[in-house]
Each structure stands twice: as C-alpha cells, then as structure tokens.
C-alpha cells in the first residue's frame, strides 16, 4: 500500500466571515492563542508522518510564506539577546516539513483549490486539511484515517455528528455499514437544508483521497454558492468506487466563525501547560464578576 506523504492545505479563501481582521491578511494567519491557525494544521500533518505540504494560496500569500521560512534578522536578534527558547522555536518552524505554495488564480471554490494540487500530488493518495477545523494535540483523527486507508484502500472523509439545525453549514453524508468509527458513505451533499439533510453527520475538514478525485473535479459544475464544491466531486467518486467515513467526536475546534473562534481560543488556552492555570483563574474571576453559572 502506498504511504501517505502529502498534504494539501487550501488557504485561498477570502475570509469574508472574519472581516475586518482578514481585510489585509489571510484568515489562516489569525492567531489562536499564540500560533497562526495554519501552524496547528501543519503541525498536525507532521505529527501524522506527512512531510510534504502544499499550501494553496490566493492573494495575500506573503505572510504565509514568511511564516514558514527562516527570518535571519529575527534569529540574529533573539540570539544576541540570549532568547534561546524563542530562537529554537522560530528555527524549528522553518524546518517542520517541506512546504510548497501554489496559487489558485481565481477563487472558484474549495474543489477548484484542490484541483490546483494535481501536478504536485501526482498519482498518490494524499490528505486535504481545511484550516477552519483545528485539532488539539490529542486528536488522532488524521493518523487514524491514514491507518484505515491501509485497510480499505479507498478515500476516507472525517465526519462528526452535529445538531440537525447546524448541518446546513457543512457537507453532509449518508452512511451504512457502520462498524465503530468506520462507515461507508452512500451519499454526500453540500450544505443541505436541515429538513432535507440525509443525516446529521457533517464533513469535518479532513479528507484522505485517492488521486482519482482529480479526474472527478474536472467534471464538477458550480454548485452551492456558485462554487466548484469538493463535496460534489466526492459524490461523483461514489458512482464508481467506495468512499468511507471516519466518525469522530472530540478534539476539534471550529475557527471559521467569530463565536467559534472565541470558543477555540478559550479551550486551547486552557489546555496549555504554560498559560492554562493562570487563564483558568482569570476565567473563574470573569464568571464570578459577570454572575455567570
Ligand atoms: C467546507 C466544505 C464543507 C465542510 C466544511 C468543514 O465548507 O465545503 O463540506 O463541511 O468546509 O469545515 P466551508 O466551511 O468552507 O463553507
């Protein structure tokens, strides 16, 4: 079985749900505690054994490239001030993985962004990781999906049960043959109305694809929002091949919307060994003061 070594991270969206913060910087660079969102995603890929990462960018790509590059001026300053911890951190960041960038050109949708990766990925299985979904350090979703791929040899999509009224914000999968976390996807639809959704299983921004997704993407017509949807390409794969779902329940934080971003920041700060205890005290003080709980 081919080893999964490549990840594609689409980062070309306009981030309109996060204005004004995203007016002049990509939403992937918004910090969650003290790291830009995309760094969590890259670290998750590396922890799962992936060492080749392709970031699909749009406008404003400079800061993304700079973030994963060496910065000799900064390194020199940190060195001369004896800040060895910070120095090690910024140097390590540039050595995390082999990170490549390619431009999407036109913002035609997530499916289109993924299709731009075709040349780089070639004829290999690969993962797609969306930056709106951030996993905590304990999450095993990605390594679990890679492990399952060894068994099933078909594409796998991460799924999570969400309240029925939230399903219209996501891709939604109908499944059968559920055996623990693994199930077989029988149908998939992008952002259905709650009353028409085939299930409450939402697509969660981690996908493991066989390369035949690229051929399907070429035939996808604009769908929801007039965009080329990745979900619609998966639906096309289903016509001739199995696609599996991997259902998980924990360790995922949504940072795509302002309120969920605030939740993610609080939860991930609480989990931090260095900041957690002090932040917890601060939060209890706020709760007392505001008369919450
Ligand atoms: C995208 C996908 C959707 C998926 C979601 C997960 O939607 O199109 O299928 O459920 O990411 O975050 P977006 O959030 O970009 O609208």
Q: Classify the C-alpha dihedral 79-83-84-89 as positive or negative.
A: negative
**Domain definitions of the chain by residue range:** 6-256
Separation of 205 CA from ligand 1 center, angstroms?
7
Separation of 231 CA from ligand 1 center, angstroms?
9
- Give the residue from 281, 276, 289 showing the smallest Cα distance to 137: 276
Counting atoms of ligand 1 from 1, which one is nearest the CA of 205? 6
Q: What is the pTM of this model?
A: 0.94
Report residues whose beta carbon is within 6 angstroms of any ligand 1 atom. Answer: 110, 130, 132-133, 170-171, 190, 202-205, 229-231, 256
Using CA atoms, how far apart are residues 40 and 164, in angstroms rounded to an integer?
Answer: 28
Separation of 63 CA from ligand 1 center, angstroms?
24
Counting atoms of ligand 1 from 1, which one is nearest the CA of 230? 8
| Band of pLDDT at residue 95, cut at 50, 70 and 90 | confident
255-268 pLDDT, tens digit each: 888 999 999 999 99
Separation of 171 CA from ligand 1 center, angstroms?
6
Counting atoms of ligand 1 from 1, which one is nearest the CA of 254? 12
Separation of 176 CA from ligand 1 center, angstroms?
22
Residue with the nearest Cα to atom 1 of ligand 1? 170
| Ligand 1 pocket test target in 169, 187, 220, 258 with most atoms within 8 Å of CB | 169
7-26 pLDDT, tens digit each: 999 998 878 889 999 888 88
Counting atoms of ligand 1 from 1, which one is nearest the CA of 256? 14
Q: What is the mean pLDDT of residues 208-220?
A: 97
Are 244 and 183 within 8 A, CB to CB?
Answer: yes
CATH topology of domain 6-256: Spore Coat Polysaccharide Biosynthesis Protein SpsA; Chain A (3.90.550)
Using CA atoms, how far apart are residues 134 and 238, in angstroms rounded to an integer?
Answer: 27
3-state secondary structure of 163: coil
140-173 pLDDT, tens digit each: 999 999 999 999 999 999 999 999 999 999 999 9
């Amino acid at each position: 079985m081919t080893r999964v070594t490549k990840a594609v991270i689409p980062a070309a969206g306009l981030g309109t749900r996060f204005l004004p913060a995203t007016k002049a910087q990509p939403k992937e660079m918004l910090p969650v505690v003290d790291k830009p969102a995309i760094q969590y995603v890259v670290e998750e890929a590396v922890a799962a054994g992936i060492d080749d990462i392709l970031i699909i960018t749009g406008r404003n790509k400079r800061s993304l490239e700079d973030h994963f590059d060496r910065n000799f001026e900064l390194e020199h300053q940190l060195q001369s001030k004896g800040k060895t911890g910070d120095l090690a951190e910024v140097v390590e960041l540039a050595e995390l993985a082999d990170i490549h960038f390619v431009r999407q050109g036109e913002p035609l949708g997530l499916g289109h962004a993924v299709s731009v990766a075709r040349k780089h990925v070639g004829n290999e299985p690969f993962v797609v990781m969306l930056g709106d979904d951030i996993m905590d350090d304990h999450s095993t979703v990605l390594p679990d999906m890679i492990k399952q791929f060894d068994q099933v040899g078909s594409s796998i999509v991460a799924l999570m049960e969400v309240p029925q009224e939230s399903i219209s914000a996501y891709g939604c999968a109908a499944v059968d043959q559920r055996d623990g976390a693994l199930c077989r996807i029988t149908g998939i639809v992008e952002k259905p109305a709650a009353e028409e959704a085939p299930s409450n299983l939402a697509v969660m921004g981690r996908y493991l694809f066989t390369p035949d997704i690229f051929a399907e993407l070429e035939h996808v017509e604009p769908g929801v929002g007039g965009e080329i949807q990745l979900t619609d390409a998966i639906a096309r794969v289903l016509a001739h091949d199995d696609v599996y779902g991997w259902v998980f329940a924990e360790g995922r934080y949504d940072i795509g919307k302002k309120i969920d971003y605030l939740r993610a920041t609080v939860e991930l700060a609480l989990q931090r060994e260095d900041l957690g205890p002090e932040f917890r005290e601060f939060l209890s003080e706020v709760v007392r003061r505001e008369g919450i709980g």
